[in-house]
Amino acid sequence: MTRPTIRPDLRTMEGYHSPQLDVEVRLNTNEAPFPPPAGFLSAFLDEVGRIDWHRYPDRLAQSLREDIAAVHDVEPQQIFVANGSNEVLQTICLTFGGSGRSVATFEPTYAMYQQIARTTQCEVIEVARDSQHRVSLSEVITVVTRHHPDIIFFCSPNNPTGTPESLEVIEAALQISDGVVVVDEAYGQFADFTALDLLRGPYASESLIVTRTFSKTWSMAGARLGYCVAPSWMLPEFEKVVLPYHLDSVKQIAGRVALRFHDEMEHRVRQLGSERDRVAAALTDLGLDVWPSQANFIMFRTTPCSVSGDHVWQRLVDQSVLIRNCSNWPGLSDCLRVTLGTESENHIFLEALKEALT
């Protein structure tokens, strides 16, 4: 008996993953360092206790969409919610991409853009960032005029570099492209700039999508809940490709309850911003190349200390500290990315790093 064959284009692909090791300090996946605020769990369990388990969930997640819309001062029909922002990205590719269509990414960036694009049979057009890992206006103009991508992905702030995109670049893409422009703001709450402003008012863009997640600021990586803000005409199109009842009742409740703690989350963002400044300064004092970050992580290069990124990463693991090794990513030789943890975790990381650099 022979095995059935998979799609030919999948044979050389690998699944997305990051190491999950048993360590004392885990700072490799950009999760929030704290659990949800006090009061979240009791409020969540109280509502879960009233679920009609024999009924399907609200297919449109109307209440959750209304609550998210209120946070961003947009209309509920502009909100699409899904199982993490990755499912949002997949839905976008299924709607606007597919066989014979193309996606533009600016590398290095979040690896799932290419992964999702290829699994939905889109052609991927890779565009290099500049020496500071920013997207240049000239490259945007070139890729749009030469390739006419159906989807353009911007990550702002960019993962793994932490650099935000500029309003000039995003507006230029919107003006000259016939495709959809996606600004992934998974770390948007930590940044000075948001593209959400381009989706409000009488002159709101008809081709912009801004994605967000509950995994970072809202301390809900375990829930896998994400959403996007988009022109209202796109939502019925998304519903054509997404599975029915894809967002379960428990997840919808978790999202709605989390939004009640908006002030607490904003306070945490400020706390992490302060820690980001402190850790970045400490990394600079160690003689490392450090990229200015507007996210909840920092990327740095070990080359100035005459030691490889692979070596430093392993020595940190040996001290039970796990960060992300980006050394094998295109253009990121000897680069490592550390997620901001608690003050104590960050202190342990910095002390371990000093040891790893010697």
Secondary structure of 226-270 in the HEC alphabet? EEEECCHHHHHHHHHHCCCCCCCHHHHHHHHHHHHHHHHHHHHHH
Which is more confident, 6 or 102? 102
Find the mean pLDDT for residues 69-90: 97
Question: Under CATH, what is the fold of the domain 8-36+263-357?
Answer: Aspartate Aminotransferase, domain 1 (3.90.1150)
Q: Does pLDDT of 190 surpass 80?
A: yes
Q: How is the chain split into domains, by residue range? A: 8-36+263-357, 51-261
pLDDT at residue 215, rounded to an integer: 93
Find the mean pLDDT for residues 32-55: 95
142: tokens are: 């070139």
Q: In what order do the strands lie in the sheet with 321-325?
A: 25-27, 321-325, 335-339, 297-301, 289-290
Is the Cβ–Cβ distance between 189 and 164 less than 8 Å?
no
Q: What is the pTM of this model?
A: 0.95
Average predicted confidence (pLDDT) for the chain: 95
C-alpha distances in Å from residue 246, one per residue of 47, 57, 61, 322, 332: 20, 9, 10, 33, 37
| Model confidence pLDDT, tens digit, residues 254-287 | 999 999 999 999 999 999 999 999 999 999 999 9
pLDDT at residue 17, rounded to an integer: 65
Q: Does pLDDT of 98 surpass 80?
A: yes
Let me know if the fold of 8-36+263-357 is the same as that of 51-261. Answer: no
Q: Does pLDDT of 205 surpass 70?
A: yes
Confidence of residue 212 (pLDDT cuts 50, 70, 90): very high
pLDDT at residue 201, rounded to an integer: 82
CATH architecture of 51-261: 3-Layer(aba) Sandwich (3.40)
User: Taking each helix axis from N to C terminus, what angle separates 167-176 and 137-147, rounded to the nearest 10 degrees?
Assistant: 20
pLDDT at residue 258, rounded to an integer: 97
Find the mean pLDDT for residues 310-328: 97
